[in-house]
Amino acid sequence: MKRPLRFVIGAVSALLLSCLILGAAYMAGMLAGGHMYAFELPIKLTAPFAVLVGVLATICPMPRDSKRSSLVALAAGMALGLVYWYLSKRLFALHFTGLWQGGFLLLDYDLQAIFCWVMAGASAMLIAVVRRPLITVSTAAALSVLAAVLPSPLFNYLTNNQELTVAFATPRSLDASTTSSLRVIIPGAKEFDTEEVAAHVMHVLRASGLQGEFRITNLYRIGTGKKGLQIIVVNSRVDGRSLLPQPDGIDLIYAQTSEGWQKIPPTAGTLSRSVEIWGPGTHKDSLAYFGIADASGVSIMGRIDSN
């Protein structure tokens, strides 16, 4: 195959495969971490990568033996994907911070980008330089499927990710409903049955042995994977700051007392991530402000109204 044709086939294949891998992960709701930047940033950086794959396909010498040429093409494409991922994240950090560093972008981006470019690079190199259509196409298809489906479960495993529902509750007056002025945030496109979840929260509160009646003021859902529920009962205006560790796939309650936060049940397993809650300062219409960190390190911020 002539070298100029190699360039065109390699570059076009890399571009199309990268877009297909990322698009399939997005459409299937399997982006690592669930945040759009894990899709948008690799897409924006894919065009230069495709050009580099075309250049590599043009200059890379290939053995005459078909098996060896396939291995060389796979190895070269994967190596280019790794190098491009390594350099792109550091150049991105250099552009915004002025520092050559690797920790500027989060793990969900890293996994999505590295799987995309390594698999797309290997597949594009096979298509561009190996003259065995059946094996080439089947291998490229298999690599592309793996690149689309593996980042999300791997991210969930590495970060102990979970589908966490966080509910804030306050004491209820006799004339107030259990969900009056309920604030709900649905991260991304994830929807859930608010009434059903609120009913489950009230059931857990009643079964906990806590005295009094409560109303749910805020309800949130983040993450993917195993299901967990964290209920935070705020009985009065919050002073200072507290970190309330998130449950590890179970139902867990934190109830505000005069001596701090009571954990129910006290022996429940928790994660290293926490819900942070702090005082409202001079805002008289609020009981507290809070931040809920997800597995990517991104936090949802909000407040708990006093009425």
Please state, in angstroms and rounded to a whole number, the distance separating the CA atoms of residues 29 and 147. Answer: 14
49 and 79 housed in the same domain: yes
Neighbouring CB atoms inside 10 A of 97's CB total: 10
Helix 66-97 to helix 107-129 angle, to the nearest 10 degrees? Answer: 140
196 and 87 housed in the same domain: no
Please state, in angstroms and rounded to a whole number, the distance separating the CA atoms of residues 92 and 100. Answer: 9
210 and 238 housed in the same domain: yes
For residue 226, what are its two tokens?
Answer: 């195993």
151 and 82 housed in the same domain: yes
Domain with 29, as residue range(s), is: 3-158
93 and 166 housed in the same domain: no
For residue 297, what are its two tokens?
Answer: 């390190």
Query: What pLDDT was estimated at residue 189?
Result: 47
pTM for the full predicted model: 0.84
136 and 173 housed in the same domain: no
Helix (H) or strand (E) holding 80: helix 66-97
Q: Are 62 and 86 in contact (CB under 8 A)?
A: no
Q: Which residues contact 3 (CB under 8 A, 6 or more apart)?
A: 58, 59
143 and 178 housed in the same domain: no
Residue count of the chain: 307
186 and 220 housed in the same domain: yes
How many angstroms from the chain centroid is the CA of residue 305? 29
> What is the separation, in whole angstroms, between the first and last Cα of the chain?
74
Of the candidates 125, 158, 191, which is a domain's last residue? 158
Please state, in angstroms and rounded to a whole number, the distance separating the CA atoms of residues 1 and 128. Answer: 8
Q: Pick the closest to residue 112 from 142, 91, 88, 94 (CA basis).
A: 88
Query: What pLDDT was estimated at residue 187?
Result: 58
Which residue positions in the chain have pLDDT lower than 70?
A: 1, 62-66, 95-96, 103-104, 173-181, 186-190, 307
Query: What pLDDT was estimated at residue 181?
Result: 65
43 and 138 housed in the same domain: yes
125 and 215 housed in the same domain: no
Query: What pLDDT was estimated at residue 192?
Result: 80
For residue 255, what are its two tokens?
Answer: 């109830």
Of the candidates 98, 128, 158, which is a domain's last residue? 158
36 and 95 housed in the same domain: yes
Give the number of domains in the chain. 2
Query: What pLDDT was estimated at residue 173?
Result: 67
Please state, in angstroms and rounded to a whole number, the distance separating the CA atoms of residues 168 and 163. Answer: 17
Of the candidates 158, 175, 199, which is a domain's last residue? 158
Query: If you search the block for the tokens 């709701």, which residue do you land on?
Result: 29
125 and 203 housed in the same domain: no
Query: What pLDDT was estimated at residue 188?
Result: 52
